[in-house]
Structure 1
């Protein structure tokens, strides 16, 4: 993911948690915060140490990044999205992660209508 497409600063995470909308399913929680004058969307990832060792956490992050990349043409721009992985995400393969993310993004009405 390109640098300008990532949310990295704690202040930006906290702003999304406090002012943004959240929606969730069993595997993921997503916070969405509308950003004025932003022509693209940004993604922030949070994977707790409770989900497993570093290898497992990094694998989950890779799966999420790839799924977002593949779905990026359908995601509404101008927002920051914080994706928090829950415990069941640790046992999922890439296709299950993508399916679950697609579901939670539809719940939050984040997809562009086609």
Structure 2
């Protein structure tokens, strides 16, 4: 089954980021855009400064599992979000990163 909750296109990323509405924490910057209909859609971005491709893909998999577990809780929110991972992500464990992203999504 195709996952329709993921934002993949560059122009969609740029449209959300250009709105310049965001929340941040130690590990994440979350850009968001409110919309009138639909459901929560998300995109994940990990910059090249964090590490090589293997490490970046690992981080994306971890963040994807965090977002997927939070998706059930926040599925009623009508938002498009872009999760940008910071360098501090690697210094914290899974539970701390989970709590940070949960707090950000709760405040939206």
TM-score (norm 2): 0.86
Extract structure 1 runs of 4+ deviating beyond 4 A.
Answer: none
Partner of 2:52: 53
Tell me, in whole angstroms, the C-alpha distance in 2 between the residues paired with 1:43 and 1:12.
10
Confirm or deny: 8 A CA contact 1:56 1:90 kept in the other structure.
no
Tell me, in whole angstroms, the C-alpha distance in 2 between the residues paired with 1:20 and 1:102.
20
Unaligned runs of 5+ in 1: none
Unaligned runs of 5+ in 2: none
Deviation for aligned residue 1:102: 1.5
Corresponding residue pairs, total: 107
Deviation for aligned residue 1:94: 2.3
Deviation for aligned residue 1:70: 1.2
TM-score (norm 1): 0.82
